[in-house]
Amino acid sequence: MSGATSKILYLLKQNGPMPLPPLAEALELTTMGVRQHLHKLEQQGLVAFEDRRFGPGRPSRHWYLSDAGHRQFGDRHQDLTLQLLDGIDALFGAEGLNQLISHRFESQKALYLETLAEAKSLGERVEKLARLRHQEGYMARVVPQGEGWLLVEDHCPICAAAARCRGLCQQELELFRTVLGDTLSVTRSEHLLEQGSRCAYLITPSKAAC
């Protein structure tokens, strides 16, 4: 793999989804040159793209790492996580796993509630939630959806653990409903573990808020 393609993977790993111009600027290459590298990486299954629209005009193409791209960095944390889950199950059984999930739920809830308390509108609350999730590695973003929003997570850093312990996924849905409050309704519209290409949550104002 050439130096330029390795740098592209590193930049996408470090920054998340990026459009072409900032990549070209960081690499000190032309946009045409970077585009050629990206297409080669796409053919290898290491990167993918999504066109995002911000207001009027042409959409902006954002490139991001695929799961195979993330594995290029040799991260074995999923193996360790699975070993820990198996150990907890063996030592403490289902009750031990449930306590672990509950502890994670309460820790995340405290952090999320503290951050979302600063929001001045429903939309800002959703945006703050997406930023928290993005910081946690979910490659989260918000897409306007009629009167509501679609919270999209293009990557799942706990996918292996969630496949082993499905309560983690249910916990995340309940977490969103808890921290967003009664004024917003949350439903999961796409699920990575149920043949989806990502996880997505439709968030709409509840009837009580209308």
Query: Is residue 82 domain-shared with residue 153, that is, in the same domain?
Result: yes
CATH number for the domain harbouring residue 48: 1.10.10.10
pLDDT digits (tens, 9 = 90+) for 38-52: 999 999 999 999 888
Please tell me whether residues 48 and 127 are part of one structural domain: no
Give the number of domains in the chain: 2
Considering the domain boundaries, does residue 72 fall inside one? no
Which of 66, 91, 111 is at the close of a domain? 66
Helix axis angle, 77-116 relative to 167-180, nearest 10°?
10
Q: Are residues 31 and 132 in the same domain?
A: no
Amino acid at the residue 191 = H
Which one has a higher pLDDT value, 13 or 150? 150
Domain limits for position 109: 77-209
- Residues 10-37: tens digit of each pLDDT: 888 878 889 999 999 999 999 999 999 9
Is the pLDDT confidence value at 210 over 50?
no
Residues 94, 197 within the same domain: yes
Task: Determine the pLDDT at residue 201.
Answer: 95
- The pLDDT confidence band at residue 197, using thresholds 50, 70 and 90, is confident
